[in-house]
């Protein structure tokens, strides 16, 4: 059946079978930032925002997303203009193989949206269903705490290419979506 999705600000109609999960459908349309590390909801790599809520796309039927607004990691920032969470992951060496990182970044952004000043324990709890085999969580946790500090301070985040972006103190929907200019 055809389903209507707004993906990273772009409205589109996609075909999805009743057995298709959302991750597969998104990946088929080129949204490769949605990763599949397990076969259903146990690794967190496929996390996306569905109508503002974090969901594991591999554990959700695509047809259930009909009419939804979806944001993948590519909606958060571009290589030249990273979201502060993405920038903090880079600056803290929290990325090794990177396969789990899109899901981690999505989860971290969601956490900081609702809790701009988390404790280390709260960060660990938020990342509890994101499996990372490379870094062992120490640096991702440090990255999220660092991102929280940067976002609270509305600190100007360095980005390459001469661009920089100032993040609002209250990270909200606007920091999560580029408003249709995403180029994934």
From CA 139, how far away is CA 135, in angstroms rounded? 7
Q: Please tell me the count of residues contacting other proteins according to CB under 8 A.
A: 62
* From 83-91, 111-119, 145-153, 168-176, span contacting other proteins (CB under 8 A): 83-91
Residue 61 in the binding site for other proteins (CB under 8 A):
no
Cβ proximity to other proteins: between 41 and 116 the closer is: 41
Residue 84 in the binding site for other proteins (CB under 8 A):
no
Residue 32 in the binding site for other proteins (CB under 8 A):
yes
Residue 138 in the binding site for other proteins (CB under 8 A):
yes
Cβ proximity to other proteins: between 60 and 73 the closer is: 73
Cβ proximity to other proteins: between 30 and 67 the closer is: 30
The correct pick among 2, 121, 162, 166 for binding other proteins (CB under 8 A) is: 121
């Amino acid at each position: 059946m055809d389903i209507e999705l707004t993906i990273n600000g772009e409205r589109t109609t996609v075909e999805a079978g009743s057995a298709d999960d959302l991750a597969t459908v998104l990946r088929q349309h080129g949204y490769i930032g949605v990763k599949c590390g397990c076969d259903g909801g146990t690794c967190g790599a496929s996390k996306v925002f569905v109508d503002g809520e974090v969901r594991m796309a591999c554990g959700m039927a695509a047809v259930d997303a009909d009419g939804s607004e979806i944001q993948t990691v590519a909606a958060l920032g571009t290589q030249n203009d990273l979201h502060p969470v993405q920038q903090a992951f880079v600056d803290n060496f929290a990325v090794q193989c990177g396969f789990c990182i899109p899901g981690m970044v999505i989860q971290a952004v969601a956490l900081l949206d609702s809790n701009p000043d988390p404790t280390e324990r709260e960060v660990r709890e938020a990342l509890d269903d994101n499996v990372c085999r490379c870094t062992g969580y120490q640096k991702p946790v440090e990255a999220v705490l660092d991102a929280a500090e940067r976002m609270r301070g509305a600190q100007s985040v360095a980005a390459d290419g001469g661009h920089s972006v100032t993040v609002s103190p209250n990270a909200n929907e606007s920091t999560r979506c580029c408003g249709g200019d995403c180029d994934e």
